[in-house]
Amino acid sequence: MIQAKGYAAQNAETDLAPWDFEHREVGPHNVQLEILYCGVCHSDLHQIKNDWFPGVFPMVPGHEIVGKVIKVGDHVKKFKKGDLAGVGCMVDSCQTCENCKEGLEQYCLEGSTQTYNNKGRDGVPTYGGYSNTIVVREEFVLHISDKLPLAATAPLLCAGITTYSPLRHWKVGKGHKLAVLGLGGLGHMGVKFGVAFGAEVTVLSTSASKEAAAKDLGAHHFVVTSDPAQIEAVRGSFDFILDTVSAEHDMDMYLSLLRTSGTQICVGVPSQPYAIQPFSLLGGRKSIAGSGIGGIPETQEMLDFCAEHNIVSDIEMIDIKDITASYARMLKGDVRYRFVIDMATL
Ligand code: NAP
Ligand code: ZN
């Protein structure tokens, strides 16, 4: 077994703390990474707090992983020792169902294996990126360009692909008015991709203080959602709303901002079900849709797109000892726009 060290939650009530654990040996089709940086996703916090469902504890969170390949199995073809590489939210899937064959491993009909808070197909718990090393089958490891700053690339593995994938699926681009709801880790990547794809981008935010920063990200307009006059001015105007909000919010109000036949794409995962008045949809033939991360081929496409267009996340680097304080700041919306753990501080 490979000895690993990281930070884990022992249960949903305790804070993260140092924890030693083991990964399996590097099998013939496996790649071992030394983890250099790991992004802090709001999903990490949801999961250590059992917001969605009872978790698998001890839990080592982290699914925005970048680092260096330190060992490869005998049959590994795509990676060699010393390569930069990344791992996102998934580490395995059946590879044979129609979705896996299409490169939609996140929708594997047998269920994909999550990077942490899950058990692998061998029944062994998976442990994530708030740690010094990880062992992953080759198909779920991504190539990272050395053109991009490595730490700021980490959030692309979740926040990046989760916003890139739906914008591509719904072909959002030139001629579309896109609203990005919630300017956090996902939202700021949604703005960058929306702008890169040619859409007219409006940020819908509860935080008036984020206006200047949103414009710096490339957003064309900014709406403070607590101001009725600003909301009135954009009612019925958007083709798409990319909803990245992590907590309960007034869906009827946001649906009213869509034009006829518009679509609200939900990627945020509040802990409670949405409450929606049916007239909010049928009154304008509106749709609510959802999207989960992205498949492996599309994740590589997104990373290559970012390398070509010089797109990375805006980050604040943290010491792993400050993770609990960072979660508190994330809950207050006080992060511009992604915390990334420097694993040298482990
Ligand atoms: P985050 O950095 O905390 O950003 C969420 C943003 O939502 C906040 O910055 C805030 O933006 C806004 N917000 C928070 N509470 C709100 C409320 N009550 N009403 C309206 N707006 C509110 O979180 P994140 O890492 O981007 O993740 C966002 C959500 O996506 C989480 O639920 C996460 O679990 C989920 N997620 C889903 C997927 C997927 O595959 N679909 C992947 C990753 C993450 P403002 O200050 O601008 O209002
Ligand atoms: Zn995530």
Alpha-carbon gap, residue 123 to 125, rounded angstroms: 7
Per-residue confidence (pLDDT) for residue 316, from 0 to 100: 98
Residue 61 beta carbon below 6 angstroms from any ligand 1 atom: no
Same domain assignment for residues 7 and 148: yes
Same domain assignment for residues 103 and 180: no
Per-residue confidence (pLDDT) for residue 179, from 0 to 100: 98
Check residue 230 and report its DSSP letter: H
Output the tens digit of pLDDT for each of the chain's 346 residues: 999 999 999 999 999 999 999 999 999 999 999 999 999 999 999 999 999 999 999 999 999 999 999 999 999 999 999 999 999 999 999 999 999 999 999 999 999 999 999 999 999 999 999 999 999 999 999 999 999 999 999 999 999 999 999 999 999 999 999 999 999 999 999 999 999 999 999 999 999 999 999 999 999 999 999 999 999 999 999 999 999 999 999 999 999 999 999 999 999 999 999 999 999 999 999 999 999 999 999 999 999 999 999 999 999 999 999 999 999 999 999 999 999 999 999 9
Per-residue confidence (pLDDT) for residue 217, from 0 to 100: 97
Per-residue confidence (pLDDT) for residue 267, from 0 to 100: 98
Same domain assignment for residues 259 and 306: no
**Which candidate, 216, 221, 184, 218, places its Cα nearest to that of 202?**
221
Mutate to test the pocket of ligand 1, among 89, 116, 202, 245 (most ligand atoms within 8 A of CB): 245
Measured from the alpha carbon of residue 326, the closest ligand is 1
Same domain assignment for residues 215 and 203: yes
**Which candidate, 185, 250, 251, 191, places its Cα nearest to that of 221?**
191
Size of the chain in residues: 346
Residue 43 beta carbon below 6 angstroms from any ligand 1 atom: yes
Per-residue confidence (pLDDT) for residue 293, from 0 to 100: 98
Same domain assignment for residues 112 and 61: yes
Distance from Cα 269 to the centre of ligand 1, integer Å: 8
Residue 186 beta carbon below 6 angstroms from any ligand 1 atom: yes
Same domain assignment for residues 60 and 192: no
The residue assigned the tokens 């579309």 is 176
Residue 39 beta carbon below 6 angstroms from any ligand 1 atom: no
Same domain assignment for residues 225 and 198: yes
Within 8 A by CB and 6+ apart from 283, the residues are none
Q: Which domain holds residue 249?
A: 160-290
Per-residue confidence (pLDDT) for residue 205, from 0 to 100: 97
Per-residue confidence (pLDDT) for residue 214, from 0 to 100: 96
Residue 168 beta carbon below 6 angstroms from any ligand 1 atom: no
- Domain of 181, CATH number, reads 3.40.50.720
Taking the CA of residue 204 as reference, the ligand 1 atom at the shortest distance is 47
Check residue 29 and report its DSSP letter: T
Same domain assignment for residues 144 and 166: no
Residue 249 beta carbon below 6 angstroms from any ligand 1 atom: yes
Domain count across the chain:
2
Same domain assignment for residues 32 and 142: yes
Same domain assignment for residues 115 and 95: yes
Per-residue confidence (pLDDT) for residue 326, from 0 to 100: 98
Distance from Cα 244 to the centre of ligand 1, integer Å: 5
Residue whose CA is at the smallest distance from ligand 1 atom 22 = 245
Same domain assignment for residues 254 and 280: yes
Distance from Cα 74 to the centre of ligand 2, integer Å: 31
Same domain assignment for residues 251 and 143: no
Give the Cα-Cα-Cα angle 229, 243, 38 (nearest 5 degrees). 125
Mutate to test the pocket of ligand 1, among 215, 244, 266, 339 (most ligand atoms within 8 A of CB): 244
Alpha-carbon gap, residue 298 to 296, rounded angstroms: 5
What residue type is assigned to position 60 of the chain? Answer: V
User: Which stretches within the chain are classed as H helix?
Assistant: 42-48, 98-101, 150-153, 159-169, 185-196, 211-216, 228-233, 251-255, 278-282, 296-309, 323-331
- Domain of 147, CATH number, reads 3.90.180.10
Alpha-carbon gap, residue 293 to 249, rounded angstroms: 21
Per-residue confidence (pLDDT) for residue 109, from 0 to 100: 98
Q: What pTM does this model have? A: 0.98
**Which candidate, 62, 53, 113, places its Cα nearest to that of 346?**
62
Residues 57/344/86/217 CA torsion (nearest 10 deg): 100
